[in-house]
């Protein structure tokens, strides 16, 4: 499968890209490098774009150059304190830019979309490892 991985140069995204490559998939990375690392991009050896999901023209170009089977979206901001201090950038990135990405997916007929959430929905962990059934207590 050819899969667009947004935030693919970040911690979770880069590990996902590595796992996809190991399983024989064809990831394409889109990352604005705000929290990602440029060296991850070159180390992966797969196509990548440096830019933002809010950039409509860039998204159109990427979706025109590649036919994706799925999108894995890891480029949402996830710092609780910062989200309280700067709700505007969180609203623009996590909502408006994600809608832009979803619009491109719909226009391209992509039916598989994975959205990575935040573990902050669980609050302070009750144990070292948390699963999806851990009690929710958002921070």
User: Is the pLDDT reported for residue 118 higher than 80?
Assistant: no
- For residue 103, give the CATH number of its domain: 3.40.50.720
Per-residue pLDDT of 37-83, as tens digits, reads 999 998 989 999 999 999 999 999 999 999 999 999 998 877 777 87
pLDDT, the chain, mean: 90
| Tally of structural domains, the chain | 1
Its pTM stands at 0.85
- Asked whether residue 133 is domain-assigned, the answer is no
Structure tokens at 50: 């440096």
- Asked whether residue 17 is domain-assigned, the answer is yes
- Asked whether residue 102 is domain-assigned, the answer is yes
- Asked whether residue 138 is domain-assigned, the answer is no
- Asked whether residue 103 is domain-assigned, the answer is yes
Q: What is the domain range of residue 106?
A: 2-117
- Asked whether residue 128 is domain-assigned, the answer is no
Is 2:28 a contact under the CB 8 Å cutoff? yes
- Asked whether residue 40 is domain-assigned, the answer is yes
In angstroms, rounded to a whole number, what is the distance separating the alpha carbons of residues 76 and 90?
8
Half-sphere exposure of 139 (CA within 13 A, CB side): 14
């Amino acid at each position: 499968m050819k899969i667009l991985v947004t935030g693919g140069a970040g911690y979770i995204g880069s590990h996902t890209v590595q796992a996809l490559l190991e399983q024989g998939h064809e990831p394409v990375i889109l990352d604005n490098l705000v929290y990602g690392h440029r060296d991850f991009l070159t180390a992966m050896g797969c196509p990548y774009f440096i830019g933002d999901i809010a950039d409509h023209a860039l998204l159109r170009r990427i979706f025109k150059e590649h036919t994706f089977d799925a999108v894995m979206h890891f480029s949402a901001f996830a710092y609780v304190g910062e989200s309280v201090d700067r709700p505007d950038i969180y609203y623009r990135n996590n909502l408006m830019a994600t809608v832009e990405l979803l619009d491109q997916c719909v226009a391209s007929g992509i039916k598989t979309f994975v959205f990575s959430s935040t573990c902050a929905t669980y609050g302070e962990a009750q144990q070292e490892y948390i699963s999806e059934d851990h009690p929710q207590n958002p921070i």
